Amino acid sequence: METEIDFYELLEVERTADDKAIKAAYRRLAMRHHPDKNPGCGDSEAKFKAISVAYDCLKDPQKRATYDRYGHAAYAQAQQGGGGGGAGFSDIGDIFETIFGSAFGGGNGGGRARRGADLRYDMEISLEEAFHGKQTEIEIEVSQTCEPCSGSGAEPGTDRTRCPICGGHGKVRAQQGFFMVERPCPSCHGRGEVIEKPCRACRGEGRVDQAQKLEVNVPPGVETGTRIRLTGKGEAGPVGAAPGDLYIFIHVRRHSVYERDGTTLVTRVPITFTKAALGGTVGLPGLDDEWITVNIPAGIQSGEQLRKRGDGMPVLQGRGRGDLVIEVKVETPRKLSTKQKELLREFQQSETDAQCPESQGFFERIKAGFTGKR
């Protein structure tokens, strides 16, 4: 099982985004996560590398077209020079056959059957489940290998025979002007074999639709757009061909307390103006089921942020955790008692400009800028 993050999700753009929007998104994210701006932050470095790979693919029209059609598997295989397994092309003949049609296709004798189609399954999870990971079971309706004929498509007790038209080669040749054109055999459709007695259970297809239950391991640290691949769990191929893959797309629901930015958790905490002035503590429930105590320094201003190292989300397929960022919002009381008003007036009479330097500086700039204009 492999975990992948969609390139469009990485760059925070729609799949219909044009080249200009993709370039702008890459520049914005690259500036934010560049290692020079985040020295010593492994998460930022990993993010920077990931968005660079995504941009390298999507900025190139050919790479983008291949990625849109075949996903990570084809792109990764192309990067490796065609090596490796998974979905993709085994030789240049497959590429021409896919793009231009079977008249240009190469391949070996007998014409292997196409693998089954890849399938998509959308899974919604909570932020807590994204934090801890999740082992779950899903049920999908999918084409599977026919049991009575074991995927051959032939009635049990019978077998497929060599195609009499192509002699088992799967291809026939025809003269077109000065050229000799080779095409898949119209009788056996390139397989080199024909079925005299089709299986009654699958009608010669070698596969049937039925419900399938699968165990899915969602690793800690996944985010919206993360893609989990279950190799060989897609649609079964026709007449015994290899099955496709199942791709599970993760969607993380919004949380009532925390917002997420990669491995960083962000929350906005309102505090009273007395606590802002005198300092104190606030408590927050952590996603790891531990209570988080945040120290509020005296004199904090509304909008200032506090950071708790290592209290954020786990690093996907890595070690460690991101940070928790607490943005403070100072709340002014709306209804005061008579006693409270008296105390505040007494405080107001005793406070000095030096205690509120921002206010003092602002009004001094106004005074200096508008003197003599009236």
pLDDT digits over 135-161, tens only? Answer: 999 999 888 888 888 888 888 888 888
Q: Who has greater pLDDT, 251 or 113?
A: 251
Contact 307, 323 (CB under 8 A): yes
Would you call 111 exposed, middle or buried from its count of C-beta atoms within 10 A (0-12, 13-18, 19+)?
Answer: buried
Mean pLDDT value across the chain = 81
Q: Please name each of the domains of the chain with its CATH number.
A: 1-88 (1.10.287.110), 103-160+195-253 (2.60.260.20), 259-334 (2.60.260.20)
Q: Which residue has the tokens 């904090």?
A: 300
Q: What pLDDT does 341 receive?
A: 92
Binding residues: 146, 149, 163, 166, 185, 188, 199, 202
99 vs 203, higher pLDDT: 203
For the annotated binding site for Zn(2+), the residues are 146, 149, 163, 166, 185, 188, 199, 202
What confidence score (pLDDT) does residue 92 get?
Answer: 34
The size of the chain, in residues, is: 374
Pairing of strands 193-194, 161-162: antiparallel
Q: Is this model's pTM higher than 0.75 or not?
A: no
> At which residue do the structure tokens 């996903």 appear?
71
Residue 218 sits at φ, ψ, to 5 deg, of -90, 115
Q: Is the pLDDT of residue 83 over 50?
A: no
**CB contact at 8 A, 47 and 65:** no
Please state whether 107 falls in left (phi above 0), alpha (psi between -120 and 50) or beta: left
Mean pLDDT of 163-176: 81
Q: Report the largest interatomic distance among the alpha carbons of the chain, rounded to a whole angstrom.
A: 107
Q: Residue 189: phi, psi to the nearest 5? A: 60, 35
Q: Distance (Å, rounded) from C-alpha 182 to C-alpha 176?
A: 10
